[in-house]
Amino acid sequence: MSLTFQAGPLRGDVRVAGDKSISHRALMLALLAPGTSTIERPNRGGDVLATRDAVVALGARIDDSDDTMRVTGGTLHDPPATIDARNSGTTTRLLMGLCAGHGLNARFDGDASLRRRPMERVARPLRALGAEVETNHGRLPAMVRGVDRPPGGEFALEVASAQVKSAILLANLRARRPVRVTGDRWSRDHTERMLRHFGRSITFDGKTLELEPGALSAQRVRVPADLSGAAFFIAAATMTPGSDLVLREVGVNPTRTGFIDALRAMGADIAFERERDLDGEPVADIRVRYRPLRATRLDGVLVVRAIDEVTILAVAAAHAEGTTEIRDAADLRGKESDRLTTIAQTLRACGVTVVEYPDGLDITGGGARPPRRTLKTFSDHRIAMAVAVLAAPTGPHPIDDGECIAISFPDFPALWQTAQQTRF
């Protein structure tokens, strides 16, 4: 289904969809914890629904009503059929870890995009703890034969990936000895926070993550609004004259706010209000007003802390003054699409000069114009929503596939129209 995003400022008050990363983790720990956990306002995109169906296949009972998932866990069994993770890397990698360390045998598969993504990065550490993991030349489908009481011990991450780190932690929840993970400082730490919330002892001294043996207990989890969903609204409001927008109860975990830091370095007017804690995660209301942007450089740790927002920053760069350099971002080639190439093609179709490197982009600012043809989304939800941002100052921008947005943010088109007071 095609969709055309319009030009127009964003105003008013919005609560975006629940945090996707936190929703996945809440479902998985609720599966493992004896008793009934409640997950309030979870993300309801296709990825989280894939995890919901998978945890049911692994033994959870779920009552889903009134925007709350009530999950009764504590009893696990092998899934009766292949786990279909659909488009979701987080579902696949984290559940491969969970199965590997809880004596479960499971086969994993997904859609064409997920079948292209690398799985050895998670398979290797799981084999190291004794599980058998077979991949299809490093990709899905994959088969996991788990061990029941892994030995624990030391793990060094080969990539700064929260998914790999989380797979290792979930695989070691029943370890006989403490588990230490090194090699990463800045990938998102939602698994660690959620484990603490469910009663586990886990520490991080800036270098080494240490998980003690222990048990999980069922909890109530209130899910913050997703900063990665809010990011489209924040960038568009920053770039579009006349905008003044408040985003409610957004997760502002420092491992996720690289996008805000980068936009502020570009000159954006973004304020955090009413900063508070929500079940172990920092949240704030975020107020954004229009202000012209200038170019920046995005590399190193900032890329890790903005990993899912680099495409939006590329759009902001197209409207900034000067040339923005993005580097150290090669991992974006292994996301739902090769996001360095797909965002470069999208920007070029709107008249923007982009130079592509193996690990980044140079983007010359000065504005984008409406495209002459319908833009491709490459079935990537974040590319589709990035086009809405591109259109806000200069639309209309048509896309070929509005449906892929439902992977992370089914209500996005409706909320965008409300904030913009436009119709697509």
Stretch that binds ligand S3P, among 140-148, 156-164, 279-287, 391-399 (CB under 6 A): 156-164
DSSP β-ladder status, 153-156 and 179-182 = parallel
Residue 43 found at the interface with ligand S3P (CB under 6 A): no
3-state secondary structure of 390: helix
C-alpha 376/C-alpha 388 separation (Å) is 13
Helices 190-197 and 20-32: crossing angle in degrees, nearest 10, is 40
> CB of 162: closest distance to ligand S3P in angstroms?
4
- Answer whether 129's CB lies under 8 Å from 147's CB: yes
> CB of 289: closest distance to ligand S3P in angstroms?
28
Which tokens in the block code for residue 280? Answer: 């172990």
Q: Which of 188, 193, 319, 376 binds ligand S3P (CB under 6 A)?
A: 188
Residue 256 found at the interface with ligand S3P (CB under 6 A): no
What is the size of the binding site for ligand S3P (CB under 6 A)?
11
C-alpha 220/C-alpha 235 separation (Å) is 32
* Residues that are catalytic: 308
Helices 339-348 and 381-394: crossing angle in degrees, nearest 10, is 30
C-alpha 420/C-alpha 12 separation (Å) is 9
Stretch that binds ligand S3P, among 97-105, 160-168, 174-182, 354-362 (CB under 6 A): 160-168
Q: Closer to ligand S3P by CB, 155 or 424: give it.
A: 155
Q: Closer to ligand S3P by CB, 162 or 246: give it.
A: 162
Element (H, E) at 346: helix 339-348
The C-alpha torsion from 283 through 18 and 20 to 330, rounded to 10°, is -60
Touching ligand S3P, residues 79-98 (CB under 6 A): 90
DSSP β-ladder status, 35-40 and 11-14 = unpaired
Q: What are phi and psi of 334, to 5 degrees?
A: -105, 20
Q: What are phi and psi of 79, to 5 degrees?
A: -70, 140
Q: Which of 43, 72, 91, 187 binds ligand S3P (CB under 6 A)?
A: 187
Return the CA Rg of the chain: 21
> CB of 67: closest distance to ligand S3P in angstroms?
21
Residue 52 found at the interface with ligand S3P (CB under 6 A): no
Residue 21 found at the interface with ligand S3P (CB under 6 A): yes
C-alpha 195/C-alpha 171 separation (Å) is 13
Which tokens in the block code for residue 371? Answer: 């495209």
Residue 166 found at the interface with ligand S3P (CB under 6 A): yes
Touching ligand S3P, residues 301-340 (CB under 6 A): 307-308, 331
- Answer whether 321's CB lies under 8 Å from 365's CB: yes
Stretch that binds ligand S3P, among 162-170, 338-346, 398-406, 414-422 (CB under 6 A): 162-170
> CB of 8: closest distance to ligand S3P in angstroms?
29
Residue 163 found at the interface with ligand S3P (CB under 6 A): yes
Q: Closer to ligand S3P by CB, 331 or 401: give it.
A: 331
Residue 293 found at the interface with ligand S3P (CB under 6 A): no
Q: Which of 4, 37, 91, 161 binds ligand S3P (CB under 6 A)?
A: 161
* 387: amino acid identity, one letter: V
Query: Could you list the residues that contact ligand S3P (CB under 6 A)?
Result: 21, 90, 161-163, 166, 187-188, 307-308, 331
